[in-house]
Chain A
Amino acid sequence: AQSVTQLGSHVSVSEGALVLLRCNYSSSVPPYLFWYVQYPNQGLQLLLKYTSAATLVKGINGFEAEFKKSETSFHLTKPSAHMSDAAEYFCAVSDSGGGADGLTFGKGTHLIIQP
């Protein structure tokens, strides 16, 4: 069984500031980890994924995430926030790469960018 915890349902940062969205997971096997973004009135879009090739994963739009096994974490970061980053972000875990058991999602973090 797996689960995902996203700390903070809302995160507010100033434009140009560091973005840090936290995700902790539990999994009985080495996990596949994902971050998805959902812009207003749109579907989910894959930001990045971790599949054990490298612990630091670079995604689209300048985002990256680091897999830390000892902390069971997969936090999402971006050095400098842009107004267009305002969206809902979901962390997800799968034991099978998102196949037979689908994905287990966190409850999401709403990112607010202040001008």
Chain B
Amino acid sequence: GAGVSQSPSNKVTEKGKDVELRCDPISGHTALYWYRQRLGQGLEFLIYFQGNSAPDKSGLPSDRFSAERTGESVSTLTIQRTQQEDSAVYLCASSLRMNQPQHFGDGTRLSIL
């Protein structure tokens, strides 16, 4: 597709379950970013990939969060043992390369019961 694609668009799960969020960046974009948008709060930067490398993982909220990227394509954000505080919209963005404008997907709305 022409834009950044995220799946699922909505996810409802029980506390304690693991979830996996997927991001398909724009073809040819080498940089990929994950953000979190909690209700009533601003966007929070989580992690970025240059190719399949994530040099800095310090933005991830806890060790329950992990992210991977296959080459310069799909990325997955995994949350283990979900907690209610993980409820948020998770946004993915990609850019042609570093220091270029980011293009955002529509996000995955995650609700933890």
Contact = CB atoms under 8 A, between A and B. Distances in A.
A104 B91 CA distance: 14
B45 A107 contact: no
A42 interface: yes
Nearest to A99: B98
Interface of B: 3-4, 6, 31, 33, 35, 41-45, 48, 55-56, 59, 91, 93, 95, 98-107
B98 A100 contact: yes
A19 B35 CA distance: 28
A31 interface: no
A57 to B, nearest CB: 12
A4 B106 CA distance: 23
A100 to B, nearest CB: 6
Given A96-B99, A100-B56, A100-B98, A45 B104 contact: yes
A71 interface: no
B33 A102 contact: yes
A103 B35 CA distance: 9
A32 B98 CA distance: 13
19 contacts: A43-B3, A43-B6, A44-B93, A49-B101, A92-B43, A96-B98, A97-B98, A98-B95, A98-B99, A98-B102, A100-B48, A100-B56, A100-B98, A101-B45, A103-B33, A103-B43, A103-B102, A104-B45, A108-B42
A91 B99 CA distance: 17
A44 B100 CA distance: 15
Contacts of B103: 46
A46 B31 contact: no
Contact of B99 (A90, A97, A107): A97
Nearest to A90: B43
Contacts of B33: 102-103
Interface in A72-110: 90, 92, 96-108
Contacts of A42: 106
A102 B101 contact: no
B43 A43 contact: no
Contacts of B91: 43-44
